[in-house]
Chain A
């Protein structure tokens, strides 16, 4: 019984981590879907979200729902600007130029924002907007932080599904990801759709940043690198370009990380995650849900 409780407890730890990975992985997968680009700057948008939330909470004392709203707006704007400035001029350039540019944008965001006049390279304590409460349920415990993370991730996913499968813009997104040229022949504004994809992806990363800050209350400008890489692996694992694949991948990566730390050693944790990436690329490069192998 105790072991069962222990395993359940570790599952909850993994779900908490996985929820954040899922939110970031969505941005990777959506951008890949429409542009065939791995947007390396995405992890830094996540960092930007955490920092904006930090300033809103600690300097302006805004209530938490405003913090979410404003942070999402800001990261969405950042995503939009990055796309317009860095990626749009390269729309017809070889894919490799786009990829290198993405790496450049990522490094730029990290090192520019780490200037002392901006976010500083220091470790900053993220203020908790509410007190932590622990609930005992049978033989495991859940904190209100975890419940909030699950709830907000759930709501964001719901809204995203609605956007992609129930609205015209979503249909346009799916069409562009299917074939850009044909989509534009059908009267779809490809540029606007790509911008929208970046906006939505960046807003989700912003939410991820806030949740991460609340769960692990310490932020710094390089905080986006590791979660970014792991979310990318999550997106590949689920099948890059596929929305529900990214979500499932995020949870799998989160839970496997926690279980490796729990039953092996935390030293092996990152190693195991990268082994997963190797295995996916070797055995099923299209990921769990991937079916078609086209022009990738």
Chain B
């Protein structure tokens, strides 16, 4: 149990640094893949919710601090972490096993991608909604949500190809 939590913290750290130091510069216009979310996607199904919430919040806060944008990523990430459990229950076709990590292999291609896409879309939507509170351009916000989600999805797809 302790080894899995250490592993997931390391994965989260690496993805946060990859996001803030590399990916943030690879976007075009206002569209950026937000791939640190992948860490949240693959947390074990039975990770205690309070632990997932705290980890998600801290991860978002780390991204916020590194990008100088307070609270946004923390709010969005905490939100989808809260959604995770019910979503997994909905899209899990197979039997839930102890310590199972969501993925194409464990959930099936369709099951995983339904879950992943809803998570990605919700996260990006909340993020851009929160970011544009003081700024009303709803079409731009929706466009950013869709395009960025597509970019994130592509990277998650790549990651899944190289998994194990």
A and B together in one complex: no
List A residues at the B interface (Cβ < 8 Å): none
B residues lining the A interface (CB < 8 Å)? none
